[in-house]
Amino acid sequence: MPKNKALVGNAADPSQVRKAKCDEEFLRDQELSDMRDILRNKEGRRYLLRTLKRCHVYKTSFTGNSTTFFNEGKRDIGLRILADITEGSPDLYAVMMQEGQEEGVKL
């Protein structure tokens, strides 16, 4: 389903609103399932950990100048990915962090 397409044609129609909610929930479930699939293999976990590091999720984005805005944009994306990871599979998040620590990844 295209992201820009409205899920509801008439917000006053309860059946359309219910269907849209079901569609939204289905899409979210699919996203989390996709994330679990990525996390199930070591290479996927390693890639995601590198991505979180590049997004500076575990650091402040403040620089004291306009670079803060750029950093905060990267961090926002990283936080969204982190939320998907922890919602989709908190146990594999823990595995990912442990593996990163064992490999000496500095976050």
> In whole angstroms, what is the distance from residue 45 CA to residue 95 CA?
8
Q: Tell me if 92 sits within 8 A of 40, measured CB to CB.
A: yes
> In whole angstroms, what is the distance from residue 25 CA to residue 17 CA?
12
Confidence of residue 1 (pLDDT cuts 50, 70, 90): very low
Q: Tell me if 67 sits within 8 A of 73, measured CB to CB.
A: no
Give me the pLDDT at residue 9, please. 82
- Per-residue pLDDT of 43-93, as tens digits, reads 999 999 999 999 999 999 999 999 999 999 999 999 999 999 999 999 999
Averaged pLDDT for residues 17-28: 85
Give me the pLDDT at residue 3, please. 57
Give me the pLDDT at residue 4, please. 62
Of 103, 98, 84, 77, nearest to 37 by C-alpha is 84
- For residue 81, give the H/E element and its range: helix 67-88
Q: Tell me if 78 sits within 8 A of 50, measured CB to CB.
A: no
